Amino acid sequence: MFAPQPICNIKLAPDVLRDDKKHCRKIGPCGIGEKAVYLNSFFIDRRYYVVYADIRRVFKRVAMSKGGFSGKGAFGSIPYLVVLLSNGTEQQCNFKYEEQVDEFLNRIRRTHPEIPTVSEEAEKRLAEERLKEEARYVKDLSPAASAAIGDLKRAKSWLEDQPDIPEELSLAAKKKRSIDRMNPYYRYAALAIFLLALGSLIFGIISLIRHDGIAIYFVLFGMAFMFYTMSSQVLPTGRNNKRYAEERWQKAVASSAALTAKYEGFPVPPQYAHPASFDRMIRVIREGRAEDINAAWDIMKSDLKAINSDVTVSQTEYDEITAIKPMFLLCEYKDALN
């Protein structure tokens, strides 16, 4: 009764399904297993499954956003994961956090590169953006610029062989910034609502035992507001507080520092070690705005600092900015941390 249900043509044997779901990588309300991906219903996490052979493409959809992929307002969005099935139907999964959708898609790209991870419309847009971007590139780069690009590509490729560390660095930075910027009064209000809801629930249960007529309403309202405050991610919990967020961020930076120390002359400070940092530096050099890595680094930081929610960006830049800007904001764009 509680086993995930298939939503396309191919079904897994019960024992295979049970083992695959047990060991799947849980990301938000969905999961990625060895045999299939697990998708949520409106109320239940990982309620359905679809095997990889039944997937045409997986992509992100951003709805009711000031920007999303339209280019305006790079930091406000309501994300969905969309799975296009082999029978032509779509399964849309709602997520609370866009970074979880990005994490899901990044893992699909690594484990199943044959599955497209953008929509057909986005593929066309990306091709157009690529042509516009390449039109800005200098055709004949100097030997120094070409050598710098080669060094950056090699370092980026090496970093991508350990994807979990830069991915955790980005996620930890986003979580810490979100918690640090949260108004403490929201937490007090949520806690007050939660306590009132808990009191309503207890009073309703006692009234039910006494057979009072209105008891059921206290129970329903109490449960509804308790679930609401718990799902809002505002209440402080073991993993949703400033202390935990700080510890997670420091651990992510330490892991990145330990990793990058193994690469002699790694061109990016460990707290910014993410493939998107390299992509933006390479683009600066290819546009003829810098001849060496140090100059490209300084220009890239200036460009990133100038971008805010009012700046128009491409889809590629949107993905890069949301991945790395929280790290730079946390570290105040400093190369060396105290």
* Chain segment 260-304, per-residue pLDDT in tens: 999 999 999 999 999 999 999 999 999 999 999 999 999 999 999
What whole-number distance in Å separates Cα of residue 314 and Cα of residue 171? 22
pLDDT digits (tens, 9 = 90+) for 72-113: 444 445 788 999 999 999 999 988 878 889 889 989 998 999
**What was the pLDDT predicted at 234?**
65
**pLDDT score of 243 more than 50:** yes
pLDDT at 98: 80
What number is the average pLDDT over the span 4-27? 93
pLDDT-derived band at 129 (thresholds 50, 70, 90) equals: confident
- 241 vs 228, more confident: 241
> What pLDDT is recorded for position 292?
95
What was the pLDDT predicted at 3?
85
- Which position has the token pair 């946390």? 330
Q: Give this prediction's pTM.
A: 0.72
Residue 338: per-residue pLDDT: 67
End-to-end Cα spacing for the chain: 54
Give the residue-averaged pLDDT of 231-238: 65
Q: Average the pLDDT over 203-226 and give the result.
A: 82
29-71: per-residue pLDDT in tens? 999 999 999 999 878 899 999 999 999 999 998 765 444 444 4
**Residue 336: count of CB within 10 angstroms of its CB:** 7
pLDDT for the residue numbered 222: 82
Band (134; pLDDT cuts 50, 70, 90)? confident
Q: Are 215 and 200 in contact (CB under 8 A)?
A: no
User: What is the reported pLDDT for 30?
Assistant: 95
Placement of tokens 């780069």 in the chain: 141
Checking if the pLDDT of 185 tops 50, the result is: yes
Highest mean pLDDT among 2-11, 70-79, 244-253: 244-253
Q: How confident is the model at residue 248 (pLDDT cuts 50, 70, 90)?
A: very high
Q: Locate all alpha helices (DSSP H) within the chain, ordered by sequence.
A: 14-22, 98-111, 120-135, 143-160, 164-180, 184-209, 215-231, 242-260, 275-286, 293-306, 315-330
Q: For the chain, give the mean pLDDT.
A: 87
Provide the token pair at 123: 């593929």
Name the least confident of 140-144, 241-245, 284-288, 303-307.
241-245
What is the pLDDT confidence band of residue 189, given thresholds at 50, 70 and 90? confident
CA nearest 21: which of 40, 34, 6, 7?
34
Read off the pLDDT band of 132 (50, 70, 90): confident
pLDDT at position 230 over 70: no
- Residue the block writes with tokens 């009072």: 212
Query: Quick one: pLDDT at residue 69?
Result: 43
Distance of CA 154 to the CA centre of its chain: 25
